[in-house]
Amino acid sequence: MWFHVLLITNLAFAAPDEPPAETAPEAEPAPPDLGAATEAPTIDKRRLRRLKPSPFHLPANPRSQVDFTAYTLEFGEVKLGASNITVGVIPHVQAGTSVLLDVLGIPNVQAKVHATEGGPFDIAGWVEYDRLVRTDFDATLLTGGGVASIQLAPPWALHVGGSYTSGEVAGDISLDTIDQLLWFLDSGATADPNHGDSLLHVRTVGVRLATDIRFNRRDALIFQAAGTIHSEVDASETLFVPSFLGLEQALEHDGFVNPFEAGMASVAWQFSWEHWEARVGAGVSSIPGAWVLNTWELSYRFGGATRLREQRMLDTWQKNKEDLKAAPPAVEPVPTATR
């Protein structure tokens, strides 16, 4: 009974249900203050020319030079030079030949292997083989060596290398057979590799030092020095040595050789455009004119991942240039008079 009384009392004094409170509408965001906005800069023709990805504007490529360094051509890259043709056959391996020697009838092949993946210190090994085969004599020349390249600072690198050369001449060399040195001077000369005793066997050790300072992808300053520091000569008394470019003096060395007596030094400026490369400079050498081989060069390069990326950048820039040329000229707003 008391339970019923309490229940009736609670129902009598219970407050009626209140309607749910209405939620306030969300406030709309304030419009942006357009008065503080600045107009986006437009690209005119002058600014677009400065943005062109030309070798002069691009940062320097420290691994672009492959002749005196430990670096090699990229896979698929080809370098057609005035004296050499070189191809990147596989990653970190390049092979080539001297066109000038091939024309003179001296088959030759060169190869270099880059043994490291990158970084400030790189090592490579290289080999070169030359063969001269004539009717009365034949000659072979085998050279192998290595080179280390060190990136001392972002624009500056040092390259140190050495080589060992073994050469041999067999057969009969005299004034009567000297014209066979150039195959086109003796149409009757035929290849005959089976000759008698060796007339000359030469073994030499050489060193090379080079450094390059790169200002951008186009311009670089190159210093080179090279020389023979050791020589062993086994020559027959019947060997005929022509007085040409100091060959007779070179065969007199046996043992240690003063680098100043069998060396060269040069300085050159390297130009590297989109495909063409040129090197010009001056130097000194114990053999007259030998420094020209390191200071004067003209070549054409194409292919490789780096040049493909540069070509895509140039194509994009060219498209932007055409779009800017086709765009209508901007109309300046006419100021309104204020009261």
CATH of the domain at 312: 2.40.128
Give bridge partners of residue 213 from the DSSP assignment.
Answer: 156, 221
Q: Where in the sequence is the domain holding 194, given as residue range(s)?
A: 49-318
Lowest mean pLDDT among 147-151, 172-176, 192-196, 218-222: 192-196
**Band of the pLDDT at 244, cuts 50, 70, 90?**
very low
Q: Residue 80: is its pLDDT beyond 70?
A: yes
Contact 53, 314 (CB under 8 A): yes
pLDDT band at 92 (very low <50, low <70, confident <90, very high): very high
Q: Within 13 A of 196's CA, how many CA atoms are on the CB side?
A: 9
**How many Cβ atoms are within 10 Å of 217's Cβ, its own excluded?**
21
Report yes or no on 25 lying in a domain. Answer: no
The answer to whether residue 129 is domain-embedded is yes
Predicted confidence band of residue 14 (pLDDT cuts 50, 70, 90): very low
Instruction: Determine the 3-state secondary structure of 81 from DSSP.
Output: strand
Q: Which two structure tokens, joined as six digits, stand for 173?
A: 């060399």
Interstrand relation of 156-171 and 108-114 (parallel, antiparallel or unpaired): unpaired
pLDDT grade, residue 326 (50/70/90)?
confident
Residue 23 lies in a domain: no
Closest CA to 122 of 101, 147, 99, 102: 147
Q: Model's pTM, two decimal places?
A: 0.75
Q: What whole-number percentage of the chain has pLDDT above 70?
A: 69
Q: What is the average pLDDT across 268-283?
A: 95
Q: By the 8 A CB rule, do 61 and 212 touch?
A: no
Q: Within a domain: residue 285? A: yes
Query: Per the domain annotation, does 182 fall within a domain?
Result: yes
Work out the pLDDT band at 67, boundaries 50, 70, 90.
very high
Is 116 part of a structural domain of the chain?
yes
Query: With 50 as the cut, is the pLDDT of residue 93 above it?
Result: yes
Q: Is residue 166 part of a domain?
A: yes
Token duo for residue 98: 């001297």
As for how many domains the chain has, the answer is 1
